[in-house]
Amino acid sequence: MSIKFLSIAVQYKWCIPMLPDLRSELRALQRQNRYRAVRCVETCQEPRIRIDGRGLVLFCSNNYLGLATHPALKRAAVEALNIYGSSTAASALISGYMPPHAELESRMARFLGTEAAIVFPTGYAANLGVIPALINRGDIIFSDQLNHRSIIDGCRLSRAQIAVYRHCDIAHLESLLKTAASYRRRLIVTDGVFSMDGDIAPLPELVSLAEQYEAILMVDDAHATGALGPRGRGTFEYFGLSPHAIDIHMTSGSKALGASGGFICGSADLIALIRNRSAAYIYTTAMPPDACASTTAALDLVQRDAGLRQRLWRNTKIICERLRAMGFDLAQSQTQIVPVRVGDAQRTVAISDDLYHRGIYLYGIRPPTVPEGQSRLRLSVMATHTDEDMARLFDAMAAVRRAFF
């Protein structure tokens, strides 16, 4: 508690009685095994990391292709830093938009095959910004039950009617769409690859429903861009769809691209409207120039080097086959995101701690990130994991299996 906050609290007497109340909320989080403490990673985001001086193998990073430490990304960032400095120091619409932003937006649009793109500082900001910019009261949003929190928050901010459909359940979605003809606009929004389950949205069916019921289709491909599809263009490419089948492409630079930024891609008019309307774009400082430059460099690499994806899928296959053979429940995972289902939050924390002491860093995911009773270890595979890294994982998981299951 800062002194400043306390003195304000004392001045306005209403604050003081609230403090014990807040403290009891914190204690409740601890009691329910929902408390989260940060651990400081003292190295780069590579498979071998150090925390508190202890060497660990990292199995919970979204740096799927290992690009976060790639020399080409570092070089691009340093060059941009030298030319443009460390901050944009203003909103993009005031004076914060610089050549690295223009370059990144046009490269991202070209990469995905859309007319235009807009860069937000993060993927979270992109989702929060785009939905209320287009959808408001009098409209309706159809949102997959397991969509990412940034989509949920964007939906809430829009003040539209929200209809949550059962996870990937096309029949349920259609039954909801049938009752929504009177709304001004209909938006269907889904993760491409689900962030906590690693399964893939049924995109061809969603595209058909969107057409049939005149709905806008938005796909959050944060975990698919760079990873899925022959050229790493994401879920639509994985299914052999045209980019134009999706009205609003959302993605993040901070996962397989190993960089940063949030992106909305689509028609030139759509992007122009978002640039003019989105509070999360207008009322924040534009992404730093060096971050733009490293993301652009990552786009070059993912297109040029299909070997990165081949290594990712090779490692994913080895890990999934071995863990399933050991008897672990990996749900419906189809990708590099591999949920190891545990169920109980307390047991999940205990297993994660046990693995930590065995030299494996694998984070336990608990409510509210996942529903009650569905806690899990969210394992994410990297193209840069070596056979030795995986062997250490299997030894530790075998020990955990004996001790906890």
Ligand X SMILES: Cc1ncc(COP(=O)(O)O)c(C=O)c1O
Residues that bind ligand X (CB under 6 A): 122-124, 127, 148, 150, 191, 195, 220, 222-223, 252, 254, 262
Angle at 283 between CA 280 and CA 289, to 5 degrees: 85
User: Nearest residue by C-beta to ligand X?
Assistant: 123
First to last CA, the chain: 41
Least distance CB 294 / ligand X (angstroms): 14
> Which one-letter amino acid corresponds to residue 397?
M
Helix/strand/coil percentages in the chain, nearest 5: 45, 15, 35
Query: Which residues have C-beta within 8 Å of that of residue 327, sequence separation ≥ 6?
Result: 401, 405
Whichever of 101 and 223 has its CB closer to ligand X, that residue is 223
Whichever of 163 and 365 has its CB closer to ligand X, that residue is 365
Whichever of 60 and 180 has its CB closer to ligand X, that residue is 60
Whichever of 129 and 390 has its CB closer to ligand X, that residue is 129
Least distance CB 399 / ligand X (angstroms): 30
Least distance CB 302 / ligand X (angstroms): 16
Least distance CB 211 / ligand X (angstroms): 24
Least distance CB 353 / ligand X (angstroms): 23
* H or E element, residue 342: strand 337-343
Least distance CB 123 / ligand X (angstroms): 2
Q: 3-class SS at 385?
A: coil
Would you call 277 exposed, middle or buried from its count of C-beta atoms within 10 A (0-12, 13-18, 19+)? middle
Whichever of 84 and 194 has its CB closer to ligand X, that residue is 194
142, 145, 150, 153 alpha-carbon torsion, rounded to 10°: 60
Least distance CB 262 / ligand X (angstroms): 5
Give the total residue count for the chain: 405
List residues bridging with 250 in a β-sheet: 220, 264
Other Cβ atoms within 10 Å of 233 Cβ, number = 22
Whichever of 154 and 392 has its CB closer to ligand X, that residue is 154
Whichever of 262 and 289 has its CB closer to ligand X, that residue is 262
Whichever of 96 and 198 has its CB closer to ligand X, that residue is 198
Cβ–Cβ < 8 Å for 104, 292: yes
CA atoms within 13 A on the CB side of 81: 10
List residues bridging with 249 in a β-sheet: 219, 265
State how far the Cα of 6 lies from the Cα of 13, in Å rounded to an integer: 10
Residue spans of beta strands (DSSP E) within 236-321: 248-252, 262-266
Least distance CB 121 / ligand X (angstroms): 8
